[in-house]
């Protein structure tokens, strides 16, 4: 998917919401456990109930790997379902991968070609030759971890490195990578006050913003500092939406939560015009 | 597996060799492609031919994920084969994972419990709460990326951060994490000259050292600066061993290459006594 197609979808749906499909068998409604593939059934119902409110879905790969071969089957079915029924939707493999050259290429093929995700999250620690193999794929997007939403982000990401925080080097140096136009960045909503600085370095890039909701980030704050002239934000919510109810009405409850966020986003987009 | 058991195995086999099982269907002998599970067949034969020369096996998870559900089945069969037939061997899931708390716990369960690996490689960028969930597992080892063997390591890892290179902060700060005695570190063989500094910070930790062979690192150099009084090194070789031949004699050829390294290691261990 091109960035332009993503932007068009955002204006059409009046939403820049991304829903995290972090499916934990301990948290989904009990009646689903009788299904042959509870994870896929859960995802399918959530997607059907929310696709008009969200522009993206983001399965966190850990939650599928945790169930081994069965989990991978659920992941394959989920991405295929989205690509078949809602091809306009932007898909993110939240995998946080990163390895040297030929290994990164293997990961890129797995997620971009075989599973046909539009994008993947990648860790920057190993540098250029761990990131560029992902960037080589046309109309696929590499979402680099810049400033994450967790407390541990302060261990290294914000450390003063040659006069500025490490995450700023990640932003600046990654701009010099080949095919860097295929880069997006992860910036946690809990770090909204950093967004002005970030926008100075990467004014045009899309940001994937987790941490609104359960982790305490504010949508208003993120938009205040993070919006650009192409919107440039994908706000992710996972648990706050998909686990809104653990009863039979879970899909309806999820849609209701998604609608609250989408309504707020619609207002923000209209104000910005 | 405890560190003590690993050390005992090293002295018994007179080897600190780890073999990387990075299986690429384009590189294995053609006749294997007729098998139902060529990746597992390849691994099984390599393991049977080399287990007396190596103390560890390290499947790079990307190479399995690249083949989707089939790849995961091959991985499951491979780790089960090692744990059943050669339980003394140290196993490393080279996954380079790292995510926030509950997600890291999912990854840890997948690799430590379900697949029953002894260890996993983890990326440090997200800090404490992305690493500690792995450290919580008793007698399991978390191998943190410190200074990797690739060129991109110079993008961020060696950057001057508050007076010293970033990777030194990774070593120092990670020592303060809960259950840090379960930490090992990745240090590339191509960076052998950094090992004296590294040993000053982490004198007792085991280091997983890739990059000997194909990437040009020297075993002698690594040992000169990296050995400690418990050996403290696991030297990994992947392509140099497993792709020594692409003919029917591939397992024999792999064993021959492994023997060359093991013989060199035996000499080094004897000299050190």
**CB contact (8 A) between residue B130 and residue A152:** yes
The torsion angle over the Cα atoms of residues B246, B248, B251 and B255, rounded to 10 degrees, is -80
Mutation target to probe the B interface, by most B beta carbons within 10 A, among A137, A148, A156 is A156
How are beta strands B207-209 and B160-161 bridged, if at all? unpaired
User: Nearest residue of A to residue B173 by CA position?
Assistant: A155
Compare CB distances from B160 to A76, A94, A162 and report the shortest one's residue. A162
**CB contact (8 A) between residue A103 and residue B155:** no
Give the number of other Cβ atoms within 10 Å of residue A51's Cβ: 19
* Mean pLDDT lowest among A38-52, A216-230, B244-258: A216-230
Q: Given a cut of 80, is residue A271 above it in pLDDT?
A: yes
**CB contact (8 A) between residue A98 and residue B22:** no
Q: Is the dihedral of CA A200, A204, A208, A214 positive or negative?
A: positive
Q: Whole-angstrom Cα distance, residue A64 to residue A85?
A: 21
Query: Measured between beta carbons, which residues in chain B are less than 8 angstroms from residue A127?
Result: 150-157
User: Nearest residue of B to residue A128 by CA position?
Assistant: B152
Residue A169 to chain B, least CA–CA distance (Å): 8
Give the number of other Cβ atoms within 10 Å of residue B178's Cβ: 11
Which DSSP string do the residues of chain A spell out, in sequence order?
A: --HHHHHHHHHHHT--EEEEE---TTTS-GGGGGSSSHHHHHHHHHHHHHTTT-SEEEEBTHHHHTTHHHHHHHHHHHHHHHHHH-TTSEEEEEEEE---HHHHHHHHIIIIIIS--SEEEE--TT-HHHHHHHHTSTT-EEEEEEE-SSTTHHHHTTSEETTEEHHHHHHHHHTTSTTGGGEEEEE-GGGGGGHHHHHHH-SSS-EEE--BSTT-B-HHHHHHHH-BTTB-EEEEESHHHHTS-SSTTHHHHHHHHHHHHHHHHHHHHHHH-
**CB contact (8 A) between residue A150 and residue B170:** no
Interface pTM, i.e. ipTM: 0.94
Compare CB distances from B124 to A62, A125, A169 and report the shortest one's residue. A125
Compare CB distances from B127 to A98, A107, A153 and report the shortest one's residue. A153
Q: How confident is the model at residue A9 (pLDDT cuts 50, 70, 90)?
A: very high
3 state DSSP class of B244 = coil
**CB contact (8 A) between residue A62 and residue B110:** yes
**Neighbouring residues of B55: CB distance < 8 A, sequence distance ≥ 6:** B6, B9, B10, B13, B15, B16, B17, B18, B89, B90, B234
Distance set, CA B78 to CA B38, B71, B87 (Å): 11, 10, 13
3 state DSSP class of B19 = strand
The answer to whether the CB of B227 falls within 8 A of the CB of B233 is: yes
B118-152 burial code (b ≥16 CB/10 A, e <16): bbbbbbbbbbbbbbbbbbebeebbbbbbbbbbbeb
Distance in angstroms between the alpha carbons of the first and the last residue of chain B: 25
**Could you give the percent of chain A with pLDDT greater than 70?**
99
Compare CB distances from A127 to B97, B152, B169 and report the shortest one's residue. B152
Q: Whole-angstrom Cα distance, residue A181 to residue A202?
A: 11
The closest alpha carbon to B57, from B96, B23, B32, belongs to B23
The set of catalytic residues of B is 96
Residue B241 to chain A, least CA–CA distance (Å): 17
Q: Whole-angstrom Cα distance, residue B61 to residue B93?
A: 7
**CB contact (8 A) between residue A65 and residue B149:** no
Q: Whole-angstrom Cα distance, residue A12 to residue A7?
A: 9
Strands (E) across B74-162 are located at 90-97, 119-122, 141-147, 160-161
**CB contact (8 A) between residue A150 and residue B100:** yes
Q: Whole-angstrom Cα distance, residue A8 to residue A18?
A: 15
pLDDT in the model for residue B92: 98
Residues B2, B5, B8: CA angle, nearest 5 degrees: 150
**CB contact (8 A) between residue B160 and residue A159:** no
Q: Whole-angstrom Cα distance, residue B169 to residue B188?
A: 17
- The gap from C-alpha B181 to its chain's centroid, in whole angstroms, comes to 17
Residue B177 to chain A, least CA–CA distance (Å): 11
Query: Measured between beta carbons, which residues in chain B are less than 8 angstroms from residue A109?
Result: 66
The set of catalytic residues of A is 96
pLDDT tens for chain B, 273 residues: list them. Answer: 999 999 999 999 999 999 999 999 999 999 999 999 999 999 999 999 999 999 999 999 999 999 999 999 999 999 999 999 999 999 999 999 999 888 999 999 999 999 999 999 999 999 999 999 999 999 999 999 999 999 999 999 999 999 999 999 999 999 999 999 999 999 998 888 899 999 999 999 999 999 887 677 889 999 999 999 999 999 999 999 999 999 999 999 999 999 999 999 999 999 876
Residue A11 to chain B, least CA–CA distance (Å): 31
pLDDT in the model for residue B212: 86
In total, the C-beta contacts within 8 angstroms joining chain A to chain B are: 181
Question: Angle of helix B68-85 relative to helix B38-50, nearest 10 degrees?
Answer: 30
3 state DSSP class of B68 = helix
User: Nearest residue of A to residue B151 by CA position?
Assistant: A129
Query: Measured between beta carbons, which residues in chain B are less than 8 angstroms from residue A100?
Result: 148-150, 152
Tokens of A54: 């969200």
The closest alpha carbon to B62, from B50, B54, B71, belongs to B71
Q: Percentages helix, strand, coil for chain B, rounded to the nearest 5?
A: 50, 20, 30
Mutation target to probe the B interface, by most B beta carbons within 10 A, among A40, A126, A146 is A126
Query: Measured between beta carbons, which residues in chain A are less than 8 angstroms from residue B109?
Result: 66
Q: What is the pLDDT of residues A119-168, one digit of tens each?
A: 999 999 999 999 999 999 999 999 999 999 999 999 999 999 999 999 99
Q: What is the pLDDT of residues A172-191, one digit of tens each?
A: 999 999 999 999 999 998 88
**Neighbouring residues of A163: CB distance < 8 A, sequence distance ≥ 6:** none
Could you state, in order of their start, the residue ranges of all structural domains in chain B? Answer: 3-272
Q: Whole-angstrom Cα distance, residue B268 to residue B273?
A: 9
Mutation target to probe the B interface, by most B beta carbons within 10 A, among A37, A93, A155, A165 is A155
The answer to whether the CB of B262 falls within 8 A of the CB of B237 is: no
Tokens of B110: 């997948």
Q: Whole-angstrom Cα distance, residue B70 to residue B93?
A: 17
Tokens of B107: 């990854």
Q: For the domain bounded by B3-272, which CATH number is listed?
A: 3.20.20.70
pLDDT in the model for residue B211: 84
Q: Whole-angstrom Cα distance, residue B208 to residue B206?
A: 7
Mean pLDDT, residues A107-117: 95
**CB contact (8 A) between residue A99 and residue B62:** yes
**CB contact (8 A) between residue B107 and residue A159:** no
Tokens of B183: 């930490």
Query: Measured between beta carbons, which residues in chain B are less than 8 angstroms from residue A153?
Result: 126-127
Compare CB distances from A106 to B66, B73, B104 and report the shortest one's residue. B66
């Amino acid at each position: 998917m091109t960035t332009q197609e993503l932007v068009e979808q955002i204006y059409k749906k009046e939403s820049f919401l991304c829903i995290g499909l972090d499916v934990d068998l301990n948290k989904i409604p009990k009646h689903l456990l009788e299904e042959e593939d509870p994870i896929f059934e859960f995802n399918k119902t959530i997607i059907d109930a929310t696709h008009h409110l969200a522009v993206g879905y983001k399965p966190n790969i850990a939650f599928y790997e945790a169930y081994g071969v069965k989990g991978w089957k659920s992941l394959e079915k989920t991405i295929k379902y989205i690509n078949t029924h809602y091809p306009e939707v932007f898909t993110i493999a939240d995998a946080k991968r990163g390895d040297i050259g030929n290994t990164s290429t293997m990961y890129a093929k797995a997620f971009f070609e075989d599973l046909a995700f539009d994008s993947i999250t990648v860790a920057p620690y190993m540098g250029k030759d761990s990131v560029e193999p992902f960037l080589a794929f046309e109309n696929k997007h590499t979402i680099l971890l810049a400033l994450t939403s967790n407390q541990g982000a302060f261990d290294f990401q914000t450390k003063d490195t040659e006069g500025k925080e490490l995450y700023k080097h990640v932003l600046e140096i990654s701009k010099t990578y080949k095919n860097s136009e295929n880069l997006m960045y992860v910036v946690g909503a809990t770090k909204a006050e950093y967004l002005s600085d970030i926008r100075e370095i990467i004014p045009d890039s899309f940001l994937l913003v987790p941490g609104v909701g359960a982790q305490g980030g504010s949508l208003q704050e993120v938009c205040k500092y993070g919006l650009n002239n192409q919107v440039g934000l994908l706000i992710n919510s996972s648990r706050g939406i998909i686990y809104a109810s653990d009863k039979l009405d879970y899909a309806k409850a999820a849609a209701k939560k998604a609608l609250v966020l989408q309504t707020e986003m619609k207002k923000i987009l209209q104000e910005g015009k």
